[in-house]
Amino acid sequence: MFDFLDVYPWLLPVMIFFGRICDVTLGTLRIIFVSKGEKYKAPLIGFFEVFIWIVIISQVLERANDLLSYVSYAGGYATGNYVGILLENRIAYGIVLCRIYTQKNGKELIQKLNKMNIGATMTHGTGSTNEVDIIETVVDRKEMKTLARLLTEFDTNIFYVVEDVRTKKNGIFPKRKTILTRWRVGK
């Protein structure tokens, strides 16, 4: 299958390096989809991940007998982890619960969140130094940067924590934009 590697042996470390980047990146995405309960996406990605891995490992076991091939295998693995994390941050798949603690008026923050079409729930609490308003909201991970910006504009001393959420049901959530909404008549 890879007879050209006998003619061009210098291509083997390159193929190993980039193959490992691809398979480890897919492995990172597969783990994310498994943790989110995506029962159709995870196996599909897993198929391609293992297919790439088995092709690469067969070439390593058959032809690789030099240190450069071993280093390219390890380097591809490390780079694949890095690329997988970058890609995961870029796609920001999933939803999160943001729990916000502020000493300012929480009702004002809820009004700002409602203008952004984000639902929120507020309770009162006692912090270590003062009374606080505790606001909880569930948003898509893609919206978290915008929400964080709004929170720091609202209160420079605001404290918030973000947790992954597997599922959500009911509540006030903005309608999702899909790739098909661009071409839908009468948006």
Chain centre to alpha carbon of residue 151 = 22
What average pLDDT does this structure show over 82-96? 87
Q: Where are the alpha helices (DSSP H) in the chain?
A: 4-7, 11-35, 41-63, 67-91, 106-115, 144-154
Distance of CA 87 to the CA centre of its chain: 7
Q: Which two tokens stand for residue 13?
A: 């470390």
Per-residue pLDDT reduced to its tens digit, 10-66: 778 888 899 999 999 999 999 988 888 888 989 999 999 999 999 888 877 776 678
Q: Which residues of 155-176 are buried (b: 16+ CB within 10 A; e: fewer)?
A: beebebeeeeeeeeeeeeeeee
The reply to whether CATH 3.30.70.120 applies to domain 95-165 is yes
Q: Are 142 and 94 in contact, with CB atoms under 8 Å apart?
A: no
Q: Tell whether pTM > 0.95.
A: no
HSE toward the beta carbon, residue 119, CA cutoff 13 A = 10
Domain ranges, ordered by start, for the chain: 4-91, 95-165
